[in-house]
Structure 1
Amino acid sequence: MRKLLNTLYITLPDSYLACDGENVLVKINGEIKFRVPIHNLEGIVCFGYAGASPGLMELCCERGVSISFLTHFGKFIGRVSGRISGNVLLRRTQYRWSDDFESSLRLSKRFLLAKVINSRSVLHRAIRDHSQIVDTLALSKSMDDLSAYSNKLITSNDMDSLRGIEGLSAASYFSVFNHLILNQKDDFCFTGRNRRPPTDRVNSLLSFLYTLLSHETAAALESVGLDPQVGFLHKDRPGRLSLSLDLMEELRPHFADRLALTLINRNQIDGGGFTIKENGTVIMDDKTRKEVLLAWQKRKQEEIVHPFIEEKIQFGLVPYVQAMLLSRHLRGDLEDYPPFFWK
């Protein structure tokens, strides 16, 4: 089983990344502020416009440590990684299946069915744990809707209807998401999903967490030799990590949505940690971003029993296990792809 290593998050825009032998250095105004051995890292994520020396990028590529560059607001800019490892026959199979309608439809159903069922479990948990506080009637209605949509996904026979059902299920789920916010409701009022740019604090938080999850799934897919840009559900687009987005679908509810609710409901973040720009864009400040990153790393260290392999693993390894299972299915070692269903 793969060992869960650390991800180094660079949040100060005046940081500069360099290397000294097998160590990654974080410098500010020429002064070394942080040093970490390269073998302790699985990825580096830079927010803002942190620079990186050619020597550091070469070291990371050689050691399989990816460097992702994001804007100060969390929008993905680009990624530096080494050569894709793995069997070239695996990637050729991936490309053939991506072009094959039946294969793409079947795998897309797996991704979306898990997303809908996992979204339903988030609502079910809220009723179970907070029945005296939440609107159980509204949540139960949405749960019934999601059950009906999951059945429609199973019988759907074309990609357009599949995407339409997914859109309806997401609308139902997010229509009651505000009921799951138990504290700080004035500052964290959620009226619906919006992005590019997010125009409220909850959407800003969700978009940031989805960006982190995208980094995790892309790294996981590359680690097993798959091409994160060639997907089955999401169409090919230059620079788009389509397969990473596919794999994200089943992981969003428990990796991102539940963490966002925890941060708000436990008062780990507050409304003052966000700034509203003149154009309506809402962004989080550096302190809040660091708090979210700390919670993200802590959540990854939690242990669960994976529902398919039935082994105790750290939560942060779930994307790698799912990527491994997908690669095994493409190789023919597994009859079907088992998506991640969280109980």
Structure 2
Amino acid sequence: MRHLLNTLYVFTEDAYLALDGENVVVRRGDGELGRVPLHTLESVLSFSYRGASPSLMGACAERGVALSFYDRKGRYLAGVHGEQRGNVVLRKTQYLRSEDEDQSLPIAKSFIIGKLFNARWVLERAARDHSMRIDAEAVKAASRSIGYSLRAIETCPSLDSLRGIEGEAASVYFGVFNELILRGKESFFFDRRVRRPPTDAVNAMLSLFYTVLASDCASALEGVGLDPYVGFLHVDRPGRRSLALDLMEELRAAIVDRFVLTSINNKVVDSSCFEQRETGEVRLTSDGRRTLFEAWQDKKKEQITHPFLKEKIPRGLIPHVQALLLSRYLRGDLDGYPPFMWK
């Protein structure tokens, strides 16, 4: 079983990442902000505009450390990738299936089944635990509607039809998402999903951590030999990591949505963690990002029992386990791809 190593987050905007021996060194001007042994890391996420040295990028590629670059808004810019792992037979199978809708559809259905199951459970848990503090009837009604969508997937005849079912269910889910926010309603009011740019604090957090999760999924897929750019549900586009987005669908509610809600409801963040731009965009401050990513890293270390493997793993390994299960299915070792369905 793969071991969960550390992730280095660099938020200082004018920091420069370099390699000194076997250490990642973060520099600012003539000073050194810190250093971390490279062998203790599985990924480096940099929000700095100054970038990194070629020697560090080469070392990360050689050692399989994912090095990703983001802008201040949390938008993914680029990543460093080493020699591709896995074998050509697996990727050929992936490419052939992605071109055949009849073969893509069962895999895409599994992704969306996982997504809707987890979204429904987020609602069910809120209705069970906080029935006196929320509009429980509205939340239960949304859960029932998503349950109907889950059943509709069984007889769904095409990818376009599947996307329609997913889109309708997502609209129902986010239609009651504000009910799940129990504290700080004056600062954390959710009206609807707004992506680019996010215009409220909740959307700002969702967008940022969906991006981070997509990068984790891409690294996991590369680690088992799959091409993160060739998907089964999301349409292929230049620069789009379609398979990473596919895999992320089933993990959104279970990993990111619950994390964002917990961060708000447990007062990990408050209004001081956000700033509003003249354009109307809301983004996290440097201190806000630092606070949230510390909580995110702690959350990744929590142990859970994987619902399919029945083994205890850190939360941070969920994308890696799902990528492994997907590769086993494509190799013919499993009869179907088992999505991550968490309670």
CA distance in 2, matches of 1:111, 1:30: 48
2:45 corresponds to which residue?
45
| 1:1-40 alignment runs, 5 A limit | 1-40=1-40
Look up the match of 1:159.
159
The separation in 1 between residues aligned to 2:335 and 2:67, in whole angstroms, is 35
For 1:188, the equivalent position in structure 2 comes to 188
> Paired residue for 1:102?
102
Q: Is the contact made by 1:12 and 1:50 (CA closer than 8 Å) also made in structure 2?
A: no
Counterpart for residue 233 of structure 1: 233
| Alpha-carbon displacement from aligned partner over 1:224-249 (angstroms, at most 9, x marks no partner) | 01110000000100110100000000
User: % of aligned pairs identical?
Assistant: 52
- Report the TM-score when normalising by structure 2: 0.99
Shift of 1:50: 3.2
User: 1:76-134, CA deviations, whole angstroms, 9 ceiling, x for partnerless residues?
Assistant: 11111101111111111100010011111111100001100100000111112112111
Q: Give the conservation status (yes or no) of the 8 Å contact 1:10–1:50.
A: no
Q: Secondary structure at the match of 1:49?
A: coil
Letter matched to residue 125 of structure 1? R
Structure 1 residue 46: deviation in Å?
A: 0.7
The aligned counterpart of 1:84 is 84
- Mapped to 2, the partners of 1:319 and 1:264 lie a distance apart of 24
Q: CA deviation at 1:48?
A: 3.3
The answer (yes or no) to whether the contact 2:221–2:228 under 8 Å persists in 1 is yes
**1:111 alignment counterpart:** 111
Match of 1:249 in 2: 249
Q: Which residue of 2 aligns with 1:197?
A: 197
Paired residues in the alignment total: 343
- Residue 258 (structure 2) aligns with: 258
Q: Secondary structure at the match of 2:144?
A: helix
Unaligned runs of 5+ in 2: none
Q: Which amino acid aligns with 1:303?
A: Q
Q: Distance in 2 between matches of 1:117 and 1:135?
A: 21
Q: Match of 1:32, SS? A: strand
Provide the C-alpha distance between the structure 2 equivalents of 1:131 and 1:88, rounded to a whole number of angstroms: 52
Given residue 179 of structure 1, which amino acid in structure 2 is its aligned partner? Answer: E
Q: Which consecutive unaligned segments of at least 5 residues does structure 1 have?
A: none
Superposition RMSD on alpha carbons, in Å? 0.8
What is the SS of the residue equivalent to 1:262?
Answer: helix
CA offset digits 1:146-170 (Å, max 9, x no partner): 0000011111011111101101000
Between the aligned partners of 2:48 and 2:121, the Cα distance in structure 1 is 36
Q: Is the 8 A contact 2:307 2:341 kept in 1?
A: yes
Q: Provide TM-score, normalisation by structure 1.
A: 0.99
